[in-house]
């Protein structure tokens, strides 16, 4: 069976109704990540958004650097960064530096984004997303090659310049998406596919083969929305308001369709029943995860939300300990 990392996913949201002072908030979560490595979790993935009332992290590479300093083995990655909002040369420089300071433990996952507000501020057009992301990925690769970039495209021009220092271990570039054109693009231009909740793996693997590639040529990095606990229904009831907050905020922003086109969930039960969430105890988790890995031999990483927005670290820790003790030893 393929070698798979099981890890954690963080958005660093600190909603107003449950807000902690941000210094304490970050300190608690960075300490939790170090504990999680000791428990046997093998990766940590960070995401990115801007101008969010709850402080959703705008700076995943900075946080990844702090995590690199507190861990030794854990793989680090972004799931995902909004590449079209950035200067790709600056992302290449920061990612190369992060790869070097972490001992080659970092991979860069990117997506095209969807929030009008973010594109407006960073003076980008939503309609340019495909070219922004494809040109951005090409510039990343050239920047890490040690050779002059020499790139001219529709959106970017980079001259006869070498980007230094060059990473000793080149980060993989993963691309996310939930609709067919985005998944086809991941198969065509990226080293792998950032999959949300299991959506699109079949489509991705078919796209790899259509392009004359082997399924093993593309990694699948799976962000899993399962809530894993001894009594998952009771756990879901306990953390329901945090889950509902997460689901409805993504809907309001347009993650699952244009803003206003997808109705909000009335309550946590509806969000859990109809959203990406799954309720698993240890036996179900072991069965489901082992089946996923058997069915899709190019899955390289499966990671879970460490906490839901506003949930305490203590509450998240209880699930992490349960997964570490009852699930991780039985996988593979």
For residue 204, give the CATH number of its domain: 3.20.20.30
Q: What is the pLDDT of residue 277?
A: 96
Q: What is the pLDDT of residue 332?
A: 85
Q: How far is CA 299 from the centre of its chain?
A: 14
Q: What is the pLDDT of residue 249?
A: 96
pTM comes to 0.98
Segment 217-227, tens digit of pLDDT: 999 999 999 99
Q: Is residue 172 part of a domain?
A: yes
CA dihedral sign, ordered 294, 174, 71, 19: negative
Instruction: State yes or no: pLDDT of 242 exceeds 80.
Output: yes
For residue 210, the tally of other CB atoms under 10 A from its CB is: 11
Distance CA 280, CA 297 (A): 22
Distance CA 27, CA 329 (A): 28
Segment 37-73, tens digit of pLDDT: 999 999 999 999 999 999 999 999 999 999 999 999 9
Q: Is residue 268 part of a domain?
A: no
Q: Is residue 247 part of a domain?
A: no
Domain hosting 178: range is: 5-231+277-330
Segment 296-330, tens digit of pLDDT: 999 999 999 999 999 999 999 999 999 999 999 99
Mean pLDDT of 242-247: 97
From start to end of the chain, where are the E strands?
5-10, 43-46, 75-78, 81-82, 106-111, 151-152, 157-158, 173-176, 192-196, 219-224, 226-228, 278-280, 299-305
Distance CA 320, CA 314 (A): 10
Residues 6+ apart with CB under 8 A from 299: 2, 4, 201, 219, 220, 222, 292, 293
Distance CA 60, CA 202 (A): 29
Q: What is the pLDDT of residue 189?
A: 98
Instruction: State yes or no: pLDDT of 2 exceeds 80.
Output: no
Q: Write the DSSP assignment of 232-279 as a string of letters.
A: HHHHHHHTHHHHHHHHHHHHHHTTTSSTTSSPPPSSHHHHHHHSS-EE
Segment 114-154, tens digit of pLDDT: 999 999 999 999 999 999 999 999 999 999 999 999 999 99
Q: Is residue 213 part of a domain?
A: yes
Give 229's pLDDT tier (boundaries 50, 70, 90): very high
Q: Is residue 193 part of a domain?
A: yes
Distance CA 322, CA 318 (A): 6
Mean pLDDT of 234-238: 97
Distance CA 9, CA 79 (A): 8
Segment 254-280, tens digit of pLDDT: 999 999 999 999 999 999 999 899 999
Q: Is residue 253 part of a domain?
A: no
Q: 325 to each of 28, 43, 288, how far by Cα in Å?
A: 22, 17, 17
Distance CA 114, CA 112 (A): 7
315 and 239 Cβ atoms separated by less than 8 Å = yes
96 and 165 Cβ atoms separated by less than 8 Å = yes
Domain count, the chain: 1
Q: CA-based angle 310:316:320, to the nearest 5? A: 155
Q: What is the pLDDT of residue 103?
A: 98
Q: Is residue 168 part of a domain?
A: yes
Q: Is residue 195 part of a domain?
A: yes
Segment 160-214, tens digit of pLDDT: 999 999 999 999 999 999 999 999 999 999 999 999 999 999 999 999 999 999 9
Instruction: Show the tokens assigned to 185.
Output: 């693009």
Instruction: State yes or no: pLDDT of 1 exceeds 70.
Output: no
Distance CA 197, CA 275 (A): 10
First-residue to last-residue Cα distance in the chain: 6
């Amino acid at each position: 069976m393929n070698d798979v990392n099981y890890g954690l996913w963080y958005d660093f949201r600190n909603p107003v109704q449950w807000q902690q002072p941000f210094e304490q908030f970050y300190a608690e979560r960075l300490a939790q990540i170090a504990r999680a490595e000791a428990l046997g979790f093998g990766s940590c993935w960070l995401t990115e958004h801007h101008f969010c009332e709850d402080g959703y992290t705008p700076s995943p590479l900075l946080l990844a650097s702090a995590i690199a300093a507190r861990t030794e083995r854990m793989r680090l990655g972004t799931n995902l960064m909004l590449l079209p909002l950035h200067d790709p040369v600056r992302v290449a420089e920061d990612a190369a530096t992060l790869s070097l300071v972490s001992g080659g433990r970092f991979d860069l996952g990117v997506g095209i984004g969807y929030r009008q507000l973010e594109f407006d501020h960073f003076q980008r057009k939503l309609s340019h997303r495909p070219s922004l992301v494809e040109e951005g990925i090409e510039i990343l690769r050239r920047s890490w090659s040690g050779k002059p970039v020499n790139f001219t495209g529709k959106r970017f021009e980079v001259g006869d310049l070498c980007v230094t220092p060059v990473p000793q271990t080149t980060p993989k570039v993963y691309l996310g998406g939930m609709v067919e054109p985005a998944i086809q693009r991941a198969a065509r231009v990226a080293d792998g596919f950032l999959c949300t909740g299991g959506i699109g793996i079949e489509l991705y693997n078919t796209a790899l083969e259509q392009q004359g590639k082997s399924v093993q040529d593309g990694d699948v990095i799976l962000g899993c929305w399962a809530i894993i606990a001894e009594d998952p229904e009771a756990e879901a009831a306990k953390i329901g308001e945090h889950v509902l907050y997460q689901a409805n905020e993504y809907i309001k922003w347009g993650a699952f369709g244009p803003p206003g086109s997808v109705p909000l969930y009335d309550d946590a039960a509806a969000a859990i029943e109809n959203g990406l969430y799954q309720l698993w105890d240890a036996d179900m988790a072991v069965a489901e995860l082992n089946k996923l890995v058997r069915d899709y031999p190019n899955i390289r990483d499966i990671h879970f939300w460490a906490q839901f927005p506003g949930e305490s670290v203590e509450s998240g820790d209880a699930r992490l300990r349960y997964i570490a003790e009852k699930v991780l030893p039985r996988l593979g």
